[in-house]
Copies of this chain bind each other. A is one copy, B any other.
Amino acid sequence: MNEFDLIKAANKIFSVSREDVLLAAGEDDCAVVRIGGKNVVLTADVLHEKTDFPKGIRAEEIGHLSLAVNLSDLAAMGAKPLYFVHTITLSEKWVGNFGEIMKGMRKLADKFSVAVVGGDIDFGDELSIAGFAVGIADRFVTQSNAKVGDFVCLTAPLGKAQLSLEQLLDGAERDDIAYPESLFTPEPRIAEGIEIAKHANAMTDISDSLAVSLHLIAEKSGVGIEIKKELLPLDHLTPYVEKEKALELFLYAGGDYELVYTSKRCTHGFVIGKVVKGDGVRIDGKELEFRGYVHRFHEL
């Protein structure tokens, strides 16, 4: 069983029918519950040293990344982030860097007015950080409401994080890779998410890959998606890799944390395709594979 099968199994076990639970367990990027008349958006993400932190990452960047991946899930719903709680498992190697990790988290938190209101500290063989973010949304956008006729829009070109990671794994120093910020300190698209949520029918963030995100939207919405190669800009990648590899990175790489959404209008970013009747995801008429980098260093 892979992660997606396990999530399906968990969804079954935790199925819930309650008026105050608008969106539950694993159905989307976040859960949405009602508290005091507000739509409260909840999400959890865990990162591990071996699978999620690129070689050469600095302590402050670990703190940044741990918060960023959670905020990105909130952005994917169009939620405004408010609070963050985390649990950290410190290995011997990292215990001396605890303060820096926390400072990196605080710095990003301040940027988005997030209050880090709690944490639990534990010790283990491998550094890992589990984060829980809480936000609110007047209107929230799921993956399951794409409408036939919508444009498919993307907030920015993809593939920068994985390109940089591969350069690093090929032996490049971190000062010499193409997009260090995409790899070590990606920025969640909070402001964009809130604006897009005013009109989008479906939205998600791209943590695994564009292909995975599009398949999830198509499957959950009961629609087909058609994208076009000519609409995918590759200029940011082609100085470093061949065009074919650039396309591979754009479609199947993760870690950029941009937003993909469907709407009658693309207010942020650019059009890459459209929502059609039927099912499946096609690129220039050919089936787009369902694969991506579930964790940064492992293919699905």
Of the candidates B26, B121, B124, which one forms a contact with A10 in the assembled complex, judged by CB atoms under 8 Å apart? Answer: B121
Of the candidates B35, B44, B51, which one forms a contact with A130 in the assembled complex, judged by CB atoms under 8 Å apart? Answer: B44
A45 at the interface (CB under 8 A from B): yes
A285 at the interface (CB under 8 A from B): no
With a cutoff of 8 Å between Cβ atoms, the chain B residues found around residue A98 in the complex are 1, 6, 9-10
Interface of A is mostly: strand
A46 at the interface (CB under 8 A from B): yes
Q: How large is the interface on A (under 10, 10 to 19, 20 to 34, 35 or more residues)?
A: 35 or more
Q: Are B116 and A124 in contact (CB under 8 A)?
A: no
Q: With the chains together, A198 CA to B87 CA distance in Å?
A: 30
Closest to A70 in B: B120
Q: Are A118 and B25 in contact (CB under 8 A)?
A: yes
Q: Are B20 and A82 in contact (CB under 8 A)?
A: yes
Of the candidates B1, B13, B83, which one forms a contact with A33 in the assembled complex, judged by CB atoms under 8 Å apart? Answer: B83
Q: Which of A99-107, A152-160, A224-232, A273-281 contacts B (4 or more CB under 8 A)?
A: A99-107
Over the window 31-50 of chain A, the binary record of Cβ atoms lying under 8 Å from chain B Cβ atoms (1 yes, 0 no) is 10101111010111110101
A18 at the interface (CB under 8 A from B): yes
Q: With the chains together, A26 CA to B115 CA distance in Å?
A: 13
A191 at the interface (CB under 8 A from B): no
With a cutoff of 8 Å between Cβ atoms, the chain B residues found around residue A37 in the complex are 36-37
Q: Are B44 and A118 in contact (CB under 8 A)?
A: yes
Q: Are B103 and A13 in contact (CB under 8 A)?
A: yes
A86 at the interface (CB under 8 A from B): yes
Closest to A32 in B: B117
With a cutoff of 8 Å between Cβ atoms, the chain B residues found around residue A125 in the complex are 125-126
Q: With the chains together, A31 CA to B115 CA distance in Å?
A: 11
A7 at the interface (CB under 8 A from B): yes
Known: A10-B102, A128-B128. A44 touches B86 (CB 8 A): yes
With a cutoff of 8 Å between Cβ atoms, the chain B residues found around residue A43 in the complex are 85, 118
- For window 201-237 of A, CB contacts with B under 8 Å fall at none
Closest to A95 in B: B1
Closest to A39 in B: B36
Q: With the chains together, A102 CA to B13 CA distance in Å?
A: 7
With a cutoff of 8 Å between Cβ atoms, the chain B residues found around residue A89 in the complex are 46, 48, 128
20 contacts between A and B (CB under 8 A): A7-B121, A13-B99, A13-B103, A13-B106, A14-B109, A23-B117, A24-B117, A24-B118, A25-B119, A26-B119, A35-B36, A35-B40, A42-B132, A44-B86, A45-B87, A48-B89, A50-B124, A51-B124, A120-B130, A124-B126
Besides the contacts A16-B116, A31-B85, what 15 more A-B pairs have beta carbons closer than 8 Å?
A6-B98, A6-B121, A7-B119, A7-B121, A14-B115, A14-B117, A16-B117, A35-B136, A36-B38, A42-B117, A43-B85, A44-B120, A44-B132, A45-B120, A125-B125
